[in-house]
Structure 1
Amino acid sequence: MSILFRVLQRRNPQDITLPEKFYAAAIGDGSVDMETLAEQIAYQCTITQPDCYAVLMALERNIVDALKQGRIVKLGHLGNFQVGISSQGRDTAEELDASAITKARILFRPGKSFRQLLKNLSFRKARS
């Protein structure tokens, strides 16, 4: 198995006067939703699909709740989730308040098995 990629021509956003270059972009090959994951896990365990789906939904809800509280969510070998923010700069610490925050995002730090997966991927170019 390998990851498909396509070729994209792009300018350097930091210096648009430079000539365009070609870059690889991964192509998603379908998706897997919570119901499918629950079904697959149910076949691998002793719990039923509805029970597994309920656990996955509860996991999602609890991750969101913990992130709202500013907590780091540690999911063992899966990895960690955390809220990250970007802000405008201010001249002094006193001038910096919540209004300077421009963006919030979810950060995911993969666990060992995911990092290992990335080292062992193979890629193939999609036909145009």
Structure 2
Amino acid sequence: MAIKYKVLPRKNPRDLMAPEKFYAAALADGDVDLDRLAELISYQCTVTASDCYAVLLSLEHNIIGELGQGRIVKLGRLGNFQVGISSEGKETAADVSSSAIKKSRILFRPGKKLRSMLNELSFRKAG
């Protein structure tokens, strides 16, 4: 597996007068949607692509519902999803309210196989 990358210049946000440095940035090489995943899964088992698609849509719906209830969604070997938040700092605990929350995001902690895949990657410069 080889991941393409490009080189991008970036300023130091803490020192805008400092010279730019160059960093590698991963390039996506296309995408895969639920239709394609359902098709791929159907080739690997006896379930039809439309049945796989229905299951994947149901999985998405239920993950959204459970995350919305504040639960950690554990998908076994695949990994875990959880909601994370960022807030403003306040002087006292009593000063912290929901209005201090500025951003929410979905955190994903990959399972062992997904994490180990990262160690098997190679990289090649695009272009």
TM-score bracket for the superposition, by shorter chain length: over 0.9
The 1-side partners of 2:79 and 2:41 are apart by: 19
Gaps of 5+ in 2: none
Deviation at 1:18, TM superposition (A): 1.8
User: Please, what TM-score do these two structures have when normalized by structure 2?
Assistant: 0.98
- 1:6 matched residue in structure 2: 6
User: Please, what TM-score do these two structures have when normalized by structure 1?
Assistant: 0.97
Deviation at 1:83, TM superposition (A): 0.3
CA RMSD of aligned residues (A): 0.7
- 1:60 matched residue in structure 2: 60
User: Does 2:104 align with 1:104?
Assistant: yes
- 1:71 matched residue in structure 2: 71
Q: Runs of at least 4 residues of structure 1 off by over 2 A? A: none
Q: How many residues align?
A: 127
Deviation at 1:15, TM superposition (A): 2.1
**Greater CA drift, 48-57 or 8-17:** 8-17
Tell me the amino acid that sits aligned with residue 93 of structure 2: A
The 1-side partners of 2:30 and 2:96 are apart by: 43
The 2-side partners of 1:110 and 1:23 are apart by: 25
Gaps of 5+ in 1: none
**Greater CA drift, 7-16 or 101-110:** 7-16
TM-superposition CA deviations, 1:50-101 (whole Å, max 9, x none): 1110000000000000000000000011000000000001000001000000
Identity %: 64
The 2-side partners of 1:29 and 1:14 are apart by: 32
Deviation at 1:119, TM superposition (A): 1.0
